[in-house]
Structure 1
């Protein structure tokens, strides 16, 4: 018996509310409605609000894309979320994150960093996921790099991508076509 938790989204049979949210996502910065966003459209109000948070977390925080993507990868690896990893690992590399860092995170190893901002964000993300809190020194390192506002936004990124990863895992969102499971 197959597991059919991944809901089908028939784009030709969307409710008016689903269609409105679908169009807003497709016409936004993402340009595509895929993966967990398709699951969320089963609840259009959730999809609408989560997409708004996601657009901010992905495109509008004060963290540079390189370290924002680092935080996303730490989250995706923590949750062993294959779809998330498959989408964001190439983006992280394109944003300037070193290949050895991406591979170390995927393999569950602590990377060696030369950039202080990357080390700070990695430690913060890793500690918060694993320990459910961050040490004073880890918090201070992120605040030194990005201020309190940046620390708040980093927690937002980690929380949003935890929601993404949980959705992917709970609903068995398949990997993008042609991608192998990274975990």
Structure 2
């Protein structure tokens, strides 16, 4: 836990900076609201715009099944101690059909047997990418045998993107 509960940069109040209107409109279109994360990102219009575009692609425009995507996001949040991200994605995981049992299990240091073979493989990749950066050849071989090149890129990009998200949130102390 950090010594402060204060976000480390100002939250930009939507509608207060006319030059941000196109970015805010895009965020609203894709997200339906401007969350505290985006209120921090709006301190830099180019970063907010690029972030929104990339994360929308990762979350909404890939072939990664929603339940698997949300398990990845929750696991990354756990490993990076990004409670804001974890809490924000519980409803998404539930809507994607992830059971409460699996949502709770993703918090365990060692993954319990509640996960099926596919989930365990992708969560193993997630753990290696997040904890170690490098993925053992044996794990990557199993991933590339199970998934097409496009699917591998999309799964790896999902893990990488949410490592970026969670590390950004933790560094700037975005907790609610």
Q: CA 1:35 to 1:107, structure 2 compared with 1: closer, same or farther past 3 Å?
A: farther
Whole-angstrom CA distance in 2 between matches of 1:145 and 1:127 = 17
Structural mapping, 1:1-183, within 5 Å = 3=6, 5-16=8-19, 18-28=20-30, 30-175=31-176
Moved runs in structure 1, 4+ residues, more than 3 A? 1-4
Tell me whether 1-10 or 164-173 shows the greater mean CA deviation: 1-10
Task: Give the alignment's Cα RMSD to 1 decimal.
Answer: 1.9
C-alpha spacing 1:4/1:135, structure 2 compared with 1 (3 Å)? closer
Q: Note if contact 2:72-2:158 (Cα within 8 Å) is conserved in structure 1.
A: yes
Greater shift, 6-15 or 129-138, is seen at 6-15
CA spacing shift, 1:4–1:161, aligned 2, 3 Å: closer
TM-score after normalising by structure 2: 0.88
TM normalised by structure 1 equals 0.85
Distance in 1 of aligned mates of 2:171 and 2:125: 25
Indicate if the aligned counterparts of 2:71 and 2:106 stay in contact, CA closer than 8 A. no
**Residues 50-74 of structure 1: per-residue CA shift (max 9 Å, x gap):** 1111001001111100111111111
- Report which stretch shifted further, 59-68 or 2-11: 2-11
* Unaligned stretches of 5+ residues in structure 1: 176-183
1:77–1:108 Cα contact (<8 Å) kept: no
Aligned residues of 2:15 and 2:21 also touching (Cα < 8 A) = no
Number of paired residues? 173
Any gaps of 5 or more consecutive residues in structure 2? none
Specify the SS of the correspondent of 1:134: coil
